[in-house]
Every structure is written in structure tokens, then in C-alpha cells.
């Protein structure tokens, strides 16, 4: 099995954690798509959208983090597993799928808030606060769900927990610090941080992303200073 990824890519992280949690053997192929010197032909042959994550497992070629995560669980988790990462019964599948699809909306919302392209290039500083209300809907919902259960889809770890870490990682990147309003989310993240692969598959990548975001803010300040001295 070949896993095409980059450690700083949030989308790759849920798949990476599924591979680790299920103890699946794989060949990791790290692609830095932002370096501009990656030959994308092989990637496009695996993922028609040319993005990471991508997975080639025998004849199966897949992209899309949620689809890949579901595939891995459906194929490699025992049908009678007590606490599966992805459920086996129709009702639980329907419920978790709703949250996995809604998770895409949360990522779009937090991307707008982060304003990554403009901040990374020094054209803007900090997040776009006008986009925060849409993000807030998602974290409010998480807090509500976690007030009744330890994990996002029930009483045990699932792929939804892996996916949702990204929303929080992106908020950290933006410098969001109001977690005191979300004690259940804080407890949940603390629980997640105990996973043996949390640092490698999640925290390290976001630490690097946060540094790039902060550097973008500093670049903006520098450009502003130059503009001021010219005027």
C-alpha cells in the first residue's frame, strides 16, 4: 500500500492516524506539492484531483481524506470489532457520515477565517474575523456533543475525532485562544493528545504551519513599515 502525503497537510492527518491506529503496513511517499518541483503524474494517476492524501492499495486508487479513512476501516477493521473507528451498523454509519460531511463545511469556514493565501504571502494580517461566526457554529456544536459523550461519535474513538482535530489546529494557527469557553473540547483534545501518534501525525505539522502563519503576519508588518516610510 502506498500513502502519498505531506506531514503539514491537515487533510493527510486523519488518514495517517487511521493507518497508525489500525497498525496497517504502508509505504509513505512524502510529496511537497508547494515546492513547485514535484512531478505530479504519479499523484494524478492515484488521485484524479492531484492532491494529498492519496492512497494506492492494490487496484484501488483513492483521494479525499474522509473517503480514504472510511475505505481503510471498511477493509481492514474486523467486522465484529467492539469499538470500531468506523461503525458497522446502518444507523451509526448514517450519523457519523452526516458529521463527516458537515466537517467539510467547517474546514471551508475555518479556511475563510484563516485567510491563508493572503497571510502566508504577507498581503494580509491575521484572520478575517467576519468569518468567525460560521466557524463558531461548528465549535459550539462540538462542545454540545462532547458534553454528553467522551468522543465525537459516541463513547469511543472514531475517524470523526481524527478529522475534527484539524478544525482546532487551524484555529490555533489563526492565534485563537478562547478555549476557556469550550471546556469539553479542551478535555477531548487532551484525551486525543494521549494517542501515541498524536505528536507525529498532528501536532508537529500544525506547529510548522503556525510558524508560517506567524511569519506571514511579520512579513505584512514589515511591508506596512516600508509603505509608511515611503509616504
From 6-14, 114-122, 185-193, 215-223, give the range in contact with ligand GSH by CB under 6 A.
6-14
Question: 3-class SS at 2?
Answer: strand
CA distance 128 to 112: 7
From 48-56, 174-182, 191-199, 200-208, give the range in contact with ligand GSH by CB under 6 A.
48-56
Please state the closest distance from residue 43 (CB atom) to ligand GSH, in A: 8
Residue among 51 and 164 whose Cβ is closer to ligand GSH:
51
Instruction: Count CB-CB contacts under 10 A for residue 51.
Output: 19
Total residues contacting ligand GSH by CB under 6 A comes to: 10
52 touches ligand GSH by CB under 6 A: yes
Contacts 24+ apart (CB under 8 A), 22-28: 22/72, 22/73, 22/76, 22/77, 22/85, 24/72, 24/76, 25/1, 26/1, 26/2, 27/1, 27/2, 27/3, 28/3
Residue among 44 and 179 whose Cβ is closer to ligand GSH:
44
Q: Quick one: which H or E segment has residue 221? A: helix 204-230
- Locate 117 and state its grid cell: 493565501
Cβ atoms of 192 and 151 closer than 8 Å: no
Kindly tell me which residue out of 64, 77, 103, 161 binds ligand GSH, with binding defined by CB under 6 A: 64
Kindly tell me which residue out of 22, 24, 29, 33 binds ligand GSH, with binding defined by CB under 6 A: 33
Residue among 144, 152, 68 nearest 103 (CA): 152
CA distances in angstroms from 77 to 19, 24, 177, listed in the order given:
11, 10, 37
Residue among 65 and 185 whose Cβ is closer to ligand GSH:
65
Cβ atoms of 73 and 158 closer than 8 Å: no
Please state the closest distance from residue 18 (CB atom) to ligand GSH, in A: 13
Please state the closest distance from residue 204 (CB atom) to ligand GSH, in A: 15
CA distance 102 to 96: 10
Kindly tell me which residue out of 3, 4, 9, 120 binds ligand GSH, with binding defined by CB under 6 A: 9
114 touches ligand GSH by CB under 6 A: no
Q: Interface residues for ligand GSH in 65-94 (CB under 6 A)?
A: 65
Please state the closest distance from residue 207 (CB atom) to ligand GSH, in A: 16
201 touches ligand GSH by CB under 6 A: no
Please state the closest distance from residue 88 (CB atom) to ligand GSH, in A: 23
Could you list the residues that contact ligand GSH (CB under 6 A)? 9-11, 33, 50-53, 64-65
Amino acid at each position: 500500500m502506498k500513502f502519498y502525503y505531506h506531514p503539514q497537510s491537515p487533510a493527510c492527518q486523519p488518514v495517517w492516524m487511521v493507518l497508525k491506529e489500525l497498525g496497517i503496513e504502508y509505504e509513505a511517499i512524502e510529496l511537497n506539492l508547494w515546492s513547485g518541483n514535484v512531478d505530479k503524474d504519479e499523484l494524478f494517476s492515484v488521485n484524479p484531483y492531484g492532491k494529498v492524501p492519496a492512497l494506492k492499495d492494490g487496484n484501488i486508487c483513492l483521494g479525499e481524506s474522509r473517503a480514504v479513512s472510511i475505505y481503510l476501516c471498511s477493509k481492514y477493521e474486523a467486522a465484529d470489532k467492539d469499538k470500531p473507528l468506523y461503525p458497522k451498523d446502518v444507523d451509526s454509519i448514517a450519523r457519523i457520515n452526516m458529521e463527516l460531511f458537515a466537517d467539510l463545511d467547517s474546514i471551508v469556514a475555518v479556511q475563510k477565517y484563516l485567510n491563508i493565501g493572503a497571510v502566508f504571502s504577507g498581503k494580509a494580517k491575521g484572520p478575517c474575523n467576519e468569518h468567525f461566526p460560521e466557524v463558531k457554529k461548528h465549535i459550539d456544536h462540538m462542545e454540545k456533543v462532547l458534553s454528553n459523550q467522551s468522543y465525537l461519535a459516541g463513547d469511543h474513538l472514531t475517524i470523526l475525532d481524527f478529522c475534527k482535530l484539524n478544525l482546532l489546529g487551524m484555529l490555533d494557527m489563526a492565534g485563537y485562544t478562547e478555549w476557556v469557553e469550550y471546556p469539553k473540547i479542551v478535555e477531548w483534545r487532551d484525551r486525543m493528545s494521549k494517542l501515541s501518534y498524536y505528536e507525529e501525525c498532528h501536532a508537529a505539522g500544525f506547529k510548522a504551519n503556525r510558524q508560517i502563519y506567524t511569519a506571514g503576519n511579520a512579513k505584512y508588518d514589515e511591508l506596512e513599515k516600508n509603505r509608511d516610510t515611503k509616504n
